[in-house]
């Protein structure tokens, strides 16, 4: 039984999965390398997805790439190259860093500027206009009329009236009816250079919020089970996503909203603008591995602010070292005894091993889960020292560890590390083809992957790769 904290209700709620868990996670704005604060959000989402899958559920997850906004346009113009060329570099970097942190690829990573997404955004805006939830301003921008959606503010629990009166003081955008109205479509201006799409309201580009609403509903349908992001996304981004989607579909957009707290540096949020950030590349260049960074990011509960320090990663390294040593001891023990069958282990000494997963069921209580892991390590060392473990028990302990690591993904030799990048990319493409029910493309990719020496076994939640003999 899963209990997760729902930002919408501010309560721990029972989460009962259906046959497919539809999950949407807000992705990066690709104007620079993502920093490890951004990756804290992605690592938390990965832990959530892996845990749900390890408990036998099927998860379909979409993550968007925001590849058009003020920052991407400014970056491309500064370098004198096209927006596509500029963002392609950071999309690639994002996928590389994600692989280094062992993030399971989403089923689809739609980019805002993909033609089918722009079409979906324009269609959605048109519905909002037709229904009176939006209006075209003098400059041909389109705004969402928040006065038409009384529930606006429910997620962030902001008082709309109070907000209106304080904001009106600073009102300098006179073309809007109300200052809190947000842009669905931004009319082209000179700063945008050659970045523009035609729409029924004139040329321009989509606003950030409509991007996520259109991509989420186009790929996952009008109702999503879990939507995640960092706490800074709650308002206005997720609030706006709810308003747009629910006005269009007439049904509840998301059942469960989950947000992670910030990664901090000396008491301040890690961010590009504060200049207090590290990228995954910075840290890898300093000699820290992807799994060490991953461990440092996931070992603190996702709703607690995490203060980033180099001592923090150093203790991640120590913790991983203890895990590696323990596992090697179990494997070496087994290498020296005749073959043995496995069974499902319940206890290791005084520790109930199932408690690892029960802890995660409880709003991803990672501290308790890691507590169980280290207790098991301590107990099994003690029992091995006393020669009090049977080979079958050691085998069962190792099998338990493999299942634990399917959630944590921190083992020293995770299979991912051995798979060539080209094959990993093809597997991600095949996952997307299968998600889009493009079976011919999926079969074609399977053949290409086989041509590179890897065969694929499809399971409920993932594609398992096996190197061909
Ligand atoms: P952005 O590229 O700024 O849209 O951010 C991408 C994701 O990273 C969003 O889910 C943000 O909420 C999250 N994020 C940004 N900064 C931090 C931080 N310091 N700690 C945790 N998450 C963050
Ligand atoms: Zn979003």
Residue closest via CA to ligand 1's atom 8 equals: 38
Which atom, in ligand 1's list, is nearest to the CA of 277?
19
Q: Does the pLDDT at position 167 exceed 60?
A: no
- In the predicted model, is pLDDT for residue 351 greater than 80? yes
Q: Does 169 have pLDDT greater than 80? A: no
- Of the candidates 96, 72, 49, 198, the one whose C-alpha atom is nearest the C-alpha of residue 416 is 96
Give φ, ψ of 337 to 5 degrees.
-125, 155
| Domains in the chain: boundaries | 2-260, 265-408, 421-467
Residue the block writes with tokens 């390890």: 54
pLDDT at 211: 98
pLDDT at 53 over 60: yes
pLDDT at 174: 63
Distance CA 140, CA 172 (A): 17
Element spanning 60, H or E: strand 59-63
Cβ atoms of residues 396 and 344 within 8 Å: yes
pLDDT of residue 165: 54
β-partners of residue 35 are 279
Torsion 224-67-112-149 (CA) sign: positive
Inform me whether the pLDDT recorded for 161 exceeds 80.
no
Three-state SS at 41: helix
**Atom of ligand 1 lying closest to residue 269 CA:** 19
Alpha carbon of 340 to ligand 2 centroid (Å): 50
Q: What is the pLDDT of residue 68?
A: 98
User: Is the pLDDT score of 164 beyond 70?
Assistant: no
Instruction: Calculate mean pLDDT across residues 374-392.
Output: 96
Q: Which fold has domain 2-260?
A: Rossmann fold (3.40.50)
The answer to whether the beta carbons of residues 248 and 124 sit under 8 Å apart is yes
Please, what is the Cα angle at 81 between 77 and 82, to 5 degrees? 95
Domain covering 265-408: architecture: Orthogonal Bundle (1.10)
- In this predicted structure, the answer to whether residue 44 has a pLDDT above a threshold of 70 is yes
Q: Give the Cα separation of 70 and 269 in Å (integer).
A: 22
Work out which ligand 1 atom sits closest to the CA atom of 41: 22
192 Cα to the center of ligand 1, angstroms: 25
pLDDT confidence tier of residue 209, bands split at 50, 70 and 90: very high
Residue nearest to atom 17 of ligand 1 (CA): 37
Other CB atoms closer than 10 Å to residue 81's CB: what's the count? 13
Compute, in angstroms, the gap from residue 35 CA to the centroid of ligand 1. 8
Ligand nearest to the CA of 41: 1
Centroid of ligand 2 to alpha carbon of 134 (angstroms): 20
- For residue 229, give the ligand nearest its CA: 1
Q: What share of the chain has pLDDT > 70, as a percent?
A: 96
Report how far ligand 1's centroid is from the alpha carbon of 382 (Å): 42
Report how far ligand 2's centroid is from the alpha carbon of 158 (Å). Answer: 19
Using the mean position of ligand 2's atoms as its centre, give its distance from the Cα of residue 210 in Å: 9
pLDDT above 50 (res 171):
no
Instruction: State pLDDT tens for residues 301-313.
Output: 999 999 999 999 9
Q: Region 116-139: what's the mean pLDDT?
A: 98
Distance between Cα 269 and ligand 1 center (Å): 10
| Residue 365 burial (10 A CB sphere; 0-12, 13-18, 19+) | middle
Cβ–Cβ < 8 Å for 353, 376? yes
Pick the atom of ligand 1 nearest to 25's CA.
10
Q: Quick one: pLDDT at residue 170?
A: 44
CA angle at residue 188 from 183 to 193, to 5 degrees? 130
Provide residues with CB under 6 Å of ligand 1: 26, 28-29, 37-38, 40-41, 229-230, 232-233, 260, 262-263, 269-271
- Ligand 2 centroid to Cα of residue 290, in Å, is 25
Identify the helix (H) or strand (E) that includes residue 258.
strand 254-260
Mutate to test the pocket of ligand 1, among 25, 230, 269 (most ligand atoms within 8 A of CB): 230
Residue nearest to ligand 1 atom 1, measured at CA: 28
Q: Which ligand is nearest to the CA of 112?
A: 2
Q: Which atom of ligand 1 is nearest to the CA of 28?
A: 2
Q: How confident is the model at residue 458, as a pLDDT? A: 87
Q: State the virtual CA torsion across 152, 154, 158, 163 in degrees, nearest 10.
A: 10
Tokens 């028990």 found at: 393
Q: What per-residue confidence (pLDDT) applies to 207? A: 97
Query: Ligand nearest 233 Cα, by number?
Result: 1
Residues 221-267: pLDDT tens digits? Answer: 999 999 999 999 999 999 999 999 999 999 999 999 999 999 999 88
pTM of this prediction exceeds 0.75: yes
pLDDT in tens, 410-427: 998 654 556 788 888 899
Instruction: Find the 25 Cα to ligand 2 centroid distance in Å.
Output: 7
Report the alpha-carbon distance of residue 53 to residue 348 in Å, rounded. Answer: 24
Ligand nearest to the CA of 306: 1
The structure tokens listed for 101 are 């942190």
Partners of 455 in beta bridges: 466
Instruction: Grade residue 77 by pLDDT with cuts at 50, 70 and 90.
Output: very high
Among protein residues, the one with the nearest Cα to ligand 1's atom 20 is 262
Q: In this predicted model, what pLDDT tens digit does every residue of 11-32 receive, in sequence order?
A: 999 999 999 999 999 999 999 9
Task: Say what the alpha-carbon torsion angle 295, 296, 299, 304 is, to the nearest 10 degrees.
Answer: -150
Over residues 436-459, mean pLDDT: 93
pLDDT of residue 69: 97
Distances 417 to 102, 409, 420 between C-alpha atoms, Å:
9, 11, 8
Inter-residue contact 247 to 214 (CB < 8 Å): no
Candidate from 27, 41, 276 with most ligand 1 atoms within 8 A of CB, to mutate: 41
- Output DSSP code: residue 224: E
pLDDT surpasses 60 at 453: yes
By alpha-carbon position, which residue is closest to atom 18 of ligand 1? 37
Q: Give residue 245 CA to ligand 2 midpoint distance, Å.
A: 12
From the CA of 28, the nearest ligand is: 1
Which residue puts its alpha carbon closest to atom 15 of ligand 1? 38
- How far apart are the C-alpha atoms of 176 and 303, rounded to whole Å? 36
């Amino acid at each position: 039984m899963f209990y997760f904290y729902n930002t919408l209700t501010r309560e721990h709620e029972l989460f009962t999965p259906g046959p497919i868990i539809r999950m949407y996670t807000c992705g990066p704005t690709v104007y620079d390398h993502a920093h490890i604060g951004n990756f804290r959000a992605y690592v938390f989402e990965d832990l959530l997805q892996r845990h749900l899958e390890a408990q036998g559920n099927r998860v379909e997850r979409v993550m968007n790439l925001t590849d058009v906004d003020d920052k991407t346009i400014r970056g491309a113009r500064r370098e004198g190259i096209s927006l596509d060329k500029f963002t392609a570099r950071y999309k690639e970097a994002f996928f590389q860093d994600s692989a280094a942190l062992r993030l399971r690829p989403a089923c689809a990573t739609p980019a805002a500027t993909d033609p089918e997404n722009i079409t979906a955004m324009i269609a959605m805006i048109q519905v909002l206009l037709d229904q009176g939830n939006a209006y075209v301003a003098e400059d041909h921008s389109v705004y969402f009329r928040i006065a038409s959606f009384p529930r606006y503010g429910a997620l962030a629990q902001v008082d709309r009236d109070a907000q209106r009166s304080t904001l009106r003081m600073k009102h300098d955008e006179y073309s809007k009816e109300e200052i809190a109205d947000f842009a669905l479509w931004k009319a082209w201006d000179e700063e945008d250079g050659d970045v523009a799409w035609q729409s029924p309201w004139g040329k321009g580009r989509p606003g950030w919020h409509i991007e996520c609403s259109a991509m989420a509903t186009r790929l996952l349908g009008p109702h999503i089970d879990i939507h995640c992001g960092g706490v800074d996304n709650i308002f206005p981004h997720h609030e706006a996503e709810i308003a747009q989607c629910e006005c269009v579909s007439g049904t509840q957009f998301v059942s469960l909203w989950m947000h992670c707290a910030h990664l901090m540096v000396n008491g301040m949020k890690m961010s590009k603008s504060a200049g207090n950030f590290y990228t995954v590349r910075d840290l890898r260049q300093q000699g820290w591995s992807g799994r060490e960074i991953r461990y440092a990011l996931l070992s603190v509960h996702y709703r607690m602010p995490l203060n980033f320090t180099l001592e923090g990663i150093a203790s991640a390294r120590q913790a991983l070292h203890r895990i590696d040593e323990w596992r090697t001891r179990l494997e070496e023990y087994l290498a020296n005894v005749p073959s043995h069958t496995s069974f499902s282990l319940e206890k290791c000494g005084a520790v109930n091993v199932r408690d690892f997963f029960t802890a995660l069921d409880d709003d991803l209580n990672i501290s308790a889960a890691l507590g169980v892991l280290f207790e098991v390590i301590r107990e099994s060392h003690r029992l091995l020292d006393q020669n009090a473990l049977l080979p079958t028990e050691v085998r069962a302990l190792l099998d338990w560890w493999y299942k634990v690591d399917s959630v944590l993904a921190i083992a020293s030799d995770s299979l991912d590390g051995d798979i060539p990048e080209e094959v990993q990319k093809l597997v991600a493409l095949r996952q997307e083809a299968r998600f889009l029910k493009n079976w011919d493309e999926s079969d074609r990719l399977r053949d290409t992957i086989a041509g590179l020496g890897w065969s694929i076994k499809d399971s409920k939640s993932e594609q398992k790769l096996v190197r061909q003999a």
